[in-house]
């Protein structure tokens, strides 16, 4: 797995539909395998494109556009797909295997030999090309050495969380869940090396049964098969989305997920950064809210050129540049800092150096920095990491469904990604950058941040109170109350659905948002202020399923759930 292997211890349809050159498809190299390598080919412009920023629904989903609109982020020429005419001309070059295009970089990822690459570079609209893997396709290097496993420990004091209690409690996720925020309505993309067992393990049963596993995409093989390869992705996904009460609970157990394999684990080349870019653009187009990436890049297999610390300046590495754009389009990018703290490198690795993302370091259960956790600052002097969380003896889920423990910023990253999901769910009007800022301000070192732990350990309650000074969490009524509920529950067919209001939600205009089990906003209505104790909700057009209903009076929120048969 790229770089972070040593961290271990234990337009959507168009993207998938792009064909390779005849007879030379991905995974089936031609007779010139020995010389075929992947390259990132940059175009000079997007001339002749049929796409327009005035009609973004041609290449961005409705959810992606809603995310931008909420944050007042304009659709820019950067977001336009590459020119189809350029794509066709590149594909027409004999010997080219066409893999992907990149909107943000205005580029294409192709595989070909060096002679064919010269022909591609001679095309009048091609600006430059960058080789992404120097080893022959299909060759493999040995995986990097893993850190020694941490000793197993006694389960947490809250039986509901099992061994995951300490990591959830440390960042306030237990209080977040008690308040009713478990990631409902939020979409998280996880980039990693593989997810074996996610399709079978009991910890992920509700994720599968609720329909919250929205899609899978193996960027390495250009397929939808992700339940294979390295189990690092399974470990990280469980920390966020694991949901088996009285055994294991993640930090956002009711979020919806999109899973991506971007890592070709046996080797170490910049092509994996290009895969990260492809996944990030896919996530953007799908309307993802949060990217959780426990990945990093600094040293590559020879003869690919490795990065230097000077390159960790926020503008050099492919993955860093991709993460920066992902942040610019309104996603919260959460990325591991790296495990180089005890090595000669010592510092963060790409894309942890990116501007405007949340880089996560590792601490132990007492909030002391882990020796292996990569340190800041960036090469251009910016504070990193942004925050830290439990990355020592973190409870993780194995591919076989067992619960064990491991060390690494790979594991502190998803702890924080789940925290981001619940906090943003609780404060849906915030922008991505406001979410990051408030969580930083909630940190244990917020008044004196450093380049070991950043702003320290973030905390849901502190961040919530900063975002809601007029109704702090400590003094407000519980989000779910016995005198605030919907009925009948479940409802059937065209039955009327009613909302019983407590005293605090009467005589105030209400905003009601309904989310399905996949996290999509499926209904929204405004209710005029009334002194009545009961109001009618419009659920007639909803399909059968499980729904989360978030009700706001402008000062605070209530959460109720119901089932439609």
CA distances from 334 to 134, 398, 420 (A): 29, 22, 9
Element (H, E) at 524: strand 521-527
Tell me how far apart the alpha carbons of residues 399 and 357 are, in angstroms, rounded to a whole number.
29
What DSSP character marks residue 557? E
| Catalytic residue check, 192 | yes
**DSSP code per residue over 101-150:** EETTTTEEEEEE-HHHHHHHHTSTTEEEEEE---SPTT--PPPPPPPPPP
Tell me if 513 sits within 8 A of 526, measured CB to CB: no
Tell me how far apart the alpha carbons of residues 453 and 366 are, in angstroms, rounded to a whole number.
13
Catalytic entry in 192, 264, 289, 353: 192
Q: Which two tokens stand for residue 506?
A: 């009467």
Tell me if 152 sits within 8 A of 61, measured CB to CB: no
Catalytic entry in 39, 83, 231, 232: 232
Q: What is the sign, positive or negative, of the torsion defined by CA atoms of 303, 309, 310, 314?
A: positive
Bridge partner list, 9: none
| Catalytic residue check, 292 | no
Tell me if 559 sits within 8 A of 180, measured CB to CB: yes
Element (H, E) at 514: strand 510-516
Catalytic entry in 410, 412, 442, 444: 410
55 Cβ contact list (under 8 Å, min separation 6): none
Tell me if 330 sits within 8 A of 432, measured CB to CB: yes
Encode burial over 11-48: b for 16+ CB neighbours within 10 A, e otherwise: bbeebeeeebbeebebeebeeeeeebbbbbbebeebee
Within 10 angstroms of residue 472's Cβ, the number of other Cβ atoms is: 15
| Catalytic residue check, 410 | yes
Best CA proximity match to 87, nearest among 104, 77, 70, 102? 102
Catalytically active residues, by annotation: 192, 232, 410
């Amino acid at each position: 797995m790229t770089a972070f292997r040593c961290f271990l211890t234990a337009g959507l349809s168009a993207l998938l539909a792009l064909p390779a050159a005849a007879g030379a498809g991905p995974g089936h190299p031609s007779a010139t395998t020995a010389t075929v390598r992947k390259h990132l080919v940059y175009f000079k412009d997007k001339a002749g494109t049929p796409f327009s920023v005035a009609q973004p629904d041609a290449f961005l989903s409705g959810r992606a556009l809603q995310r931008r609109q909420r944050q007042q982020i304009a659709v820019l020429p950067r977001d336009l797909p590459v020119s189809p005419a350029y794509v066709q001309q590149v594909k027409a070059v004999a010997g080219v295997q066409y893999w992907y295009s990149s909107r943000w970089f205005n580029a294409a990822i192709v595989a070909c030999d060096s002679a064919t690459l010269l022909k591609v570079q001679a095309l009048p609209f091609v600006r430059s090309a960058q080789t992404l893997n120097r080893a022959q396709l299909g060759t493999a290097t040995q995986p990097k050495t893993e850190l020694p496993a941490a000793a197993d420990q006694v389960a947490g004091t809250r039986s509901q969380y099992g061994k995951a209690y300490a990591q959830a409690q440390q960042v306030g996720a237990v209080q977040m869940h008690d308040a009713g925020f478990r990631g409902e309505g939020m979409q998280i993309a996880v980039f990693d090396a593989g997810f074996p067992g996610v399709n079978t393990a009991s910890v992920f049963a509700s994720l599968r049964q609720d329909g919250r596993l929205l899609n899978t995409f193996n960027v390495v093989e250009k397929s939808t098969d992700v339940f294979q390869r390295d189990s690092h992705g399974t470990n990280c996904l469980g920390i966020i989305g694991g949901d088996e009460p009285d055994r294991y609970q993640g930090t956002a157990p009711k979020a919806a997920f999109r899973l991506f394999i971007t890592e070709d684990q046996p080797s170490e080349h910049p092509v994996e950064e290009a895969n990260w870019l492809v996944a990030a653009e896919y996530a953007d187009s799908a309307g993802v809210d949060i990217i959780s990436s426990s990945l990093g890049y600094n040293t590559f297999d020879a003869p690919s050129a490795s990065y230097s610390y000077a390159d960790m300046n926020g503008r050099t590495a492919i993955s860093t540049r991709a993460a920066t754009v992902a942040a610019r389009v309104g996603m919260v990018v959460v990325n591991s800092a790296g495990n180089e703290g005890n090595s000669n490198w010592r510092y963060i690795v790409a894309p942890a150096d990116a501007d405007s993302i949340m880089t996560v370091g590792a601490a132990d259960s007492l909030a002391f920095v882990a020796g292996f956790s990569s340190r800041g600052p960036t090469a251009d002097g910016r504070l990193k990491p942004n925050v830290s969380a439990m990355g020592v003896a973190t409870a993780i889920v194995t591919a076989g469904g067992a619960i064990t423990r491991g060390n690494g910023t790979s594991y502190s990253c998803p702890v924080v990604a789940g925290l981001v999901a619940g906090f943003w769910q609780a404060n849906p009007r915030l922008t991505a950058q406001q979410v990051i800022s408030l969580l930083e301000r909630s940190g244990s070192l917020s008044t004196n941040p450093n380049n070991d732990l950043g702003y320290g350990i973030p905390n849901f309650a502190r961040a919530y109170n900063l975002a809601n000074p007029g109704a702090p969490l400590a003094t407000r009524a519980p989000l779910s109350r016995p005198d605030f509920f919907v009925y009948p529950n479940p409802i059937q067919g065209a039955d009327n659905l009613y909302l019983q209001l407590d005293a605090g939600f009467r005589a105030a205009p209400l905003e009601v948002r309904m989310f399905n089990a996949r996290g999509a906003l499926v209904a929204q209505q405004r209710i005029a202020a009334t002194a009545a104790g009961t109001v009618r909700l419009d659920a007639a057009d909803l399909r059968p399923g499980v729904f989360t209903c978030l009700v706001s009076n402008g000062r605070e929120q209530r959460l109720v759930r119901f089932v439609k048969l």
